[in-house]
């Protein structure tokens, strides 16, 4: 088998701008051109997915770049079929780079006779021949245990912390990090530690999925600039309601830092008309034109951290080093 010389990237259709940005950042880090493997990922007339790889990948270290965002089923099938094509083409190792891992909300049985779809997807990924997964801000940390292969879960909080320190320079004493529910406290606490800010919680009660019946603020947010931290924003109902409740309890401004901008249904309209001063997403999911043009939404690039993580995996060096501010700071110097 030939010696593996360089990592090779191949991308599905879910987020081509991010895939191209990762390739450009890797070219910068390597000091040589790193491009996407020439391939076609298309659909037959009946919507079946077809993949053809035009380059030799025998013995290569392959990285598939594909978020399983909307349309989740199509993008997941693209990932699995690409993995099968690479495995049958004798790739030495296949790593799935999944910036946004879909089906992560179905990580346990909340009612009788319901599936644990996250585990099912993990099994499918393993059986397709994928040997490692690189993702970011899983909805539930225990999903890593659903896989029988290594999973590297990156975090957006170091990048959020850099952005907060720049955007709110000189106002650090006014900041208050807010978790929009009890389940997200650990995520919010992580950012609060990084920016040395206090923590508050908005306790919510749902009548049914997508609808919030009641919200209670735990903590004193009076005269504070509140930063809501969460892993995803789907219909934006909880987020916009939380902003309204926080202002009602005396907060001066409300901003939000969200890892994954799912933004389905009425989300854009809600955010546009909400009390949120700014809503910050990563580009783990390719923003729609409506999202990109919304006046109070900003997008942070994830290509630098994913490019470095891919190189670390390829080199066999630490990925967890990217959780540290001293490491991530130079990577994002001049970008944020």
* CATH number of the domain residue 265 falls in: 3.40.50.2020
Cβ atoms < 10 Å from Cβ of 29: 15
Cβ atoms < 10 Å from Cβ of 142: 11
User: CA–CA separation, 304 vs 272, rounded Å?
Assistant: 29
Catalytic choice (165, 166, 193, 204): 204
Annotated binding site for D-ribose 5-phosphate: 206, 230, 234-238
**pLDDT tens-digit profile of 44-101?**
999 999 999 999 999 999 999 999 999 999 999 999 999 999 999 999 999 999 999 9
Any idea what the Cα angle at residue 55 is, between residues 50 and 60, rounded to 5°? 105
- Written as one string, the DSSP assignment of 51-75 is EEE-S--TT-EEEEE----SSHHHH
| Residue 166 designated active-site | no
Number of domains in the chain: 2
pLDDT of 298 strictly over 60: yes
Sheet holding 253-261, edge to edge: 211-218, 199-208, 175-179, 225-233, 253-261, 278-282, 297-300
Please check whether residues 203 and 181 belong to one and the same domain.
yes
* 35-44, 94-103, 213-222: segment of lowest average pLDDT: 213-222
Please check whether residues 54 and 146 belong to one and the same domain.
yes
Annotated binding site for Mg(2+): 139, 181
The range of the structural domain enclosing residue 295 comes to 157-300
2 inside domain? no
Q: Both ends of the chain: CA-CA distance in Å?
A: 43
Please check whether residues 229 and 167 belong to one and the same domain.
yes
User: CA–CA separation, 54 vs 37, rounded Å?
Assistant: 8
Please check whether residues 15 and 93 belong to one and the same domain.
yes
pTM, to two decimals = 0.94
Beta-carbon contacts of 334 under 8 Å, excluding residues fewer than 6 positions away, are none
pLDDT at 6 (0 to 100): 80
Per DSSP, helices labelled H in the chain are: 16-30, 72-88, 117-127, 157-167, 185-195, 237-248, 267-272, 289-292, 303-315, 325-331
**pLDDT tens-digit profile of 239-248?**
999 999 999 9
For residues 238-265, average pLDDT: 96
pLDDT at 15 (0 to 100): 98
Residue 101 gets which letter from DSSP? -
pLDDT at 210 (0 to 100): 54
User: CA–CA separation, 209 vs 316, rounded Å?
Assistant: 42
Please check whether residues 293 and 326 belong to one and the same domain.
no
pLDDT at 53 (0 to 100): 97
């Amino acid at each position: 088998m030939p010696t593996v010389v360089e990592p090779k990237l191949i991308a599905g259709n879910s987020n081509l701008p991010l895939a191209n940005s990762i390739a450009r950042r890797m070219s910068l880090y390597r000091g040589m051109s790193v491009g996407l493997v020439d391939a076609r990922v298309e659909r037959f007339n009946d919507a079946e997915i077809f993949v053809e790889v035009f380059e030799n990948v025998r013995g290569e270290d392959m990285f598939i770049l594909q978020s399983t965002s909307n349309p989740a089923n199509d993008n997941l099938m693209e990932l699995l079929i690409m993995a099968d094509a690479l495995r049958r083409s004798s790739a030495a190792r296949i790593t799935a780079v999944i910036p946004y891992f879909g089906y992560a909300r179905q990580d346990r049985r909340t009612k009788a006779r319901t599936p644990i779809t996250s585990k099912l997807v993990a099994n499918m990924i393993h059986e397709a021949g994928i040997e490692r997964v690189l993702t970011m801000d899983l909805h539930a940390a225990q999903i890593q245990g659903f896989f029988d292969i290594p999973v590297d879960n990156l975090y957006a909080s170091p990048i959020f912390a850099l952005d907060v320190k720049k955007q709110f320079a000189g106002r650090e004493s006014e900041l208050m990090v807010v978790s929009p529910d009890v389940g997200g406290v650990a995520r919010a606490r992580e950012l609060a530690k990084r920016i040395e800010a206090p923590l508050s919680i908005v306790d919510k009660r749902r009548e049914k999925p997508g609808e919030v019946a009641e919200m209670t603020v735990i903590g004193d947010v009076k005269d504070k600039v509140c930063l809501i931290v969460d892993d995803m924003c789907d219909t934006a109902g909880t987020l916009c309601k939380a902003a309204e409740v926080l202002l009602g309890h005396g907060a001066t401004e409300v901003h939000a830092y969200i890892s994954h901008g799912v933004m389905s249904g009425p989300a854009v309209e809600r955010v546009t008309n909400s009390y949120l001063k700014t809503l910050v997403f990563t580009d783990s999911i390719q923003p729609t034109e409506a999202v990109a043009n919304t006046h109070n939404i900003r997008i942070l690039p994830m290509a630098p951290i994913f490019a470095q993580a891919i190189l670390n995996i390829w080199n066999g060096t630490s990925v967890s080093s990217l959780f540290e501010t001293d490491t991530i700071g130079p990577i994002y110097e001049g970008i944020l």
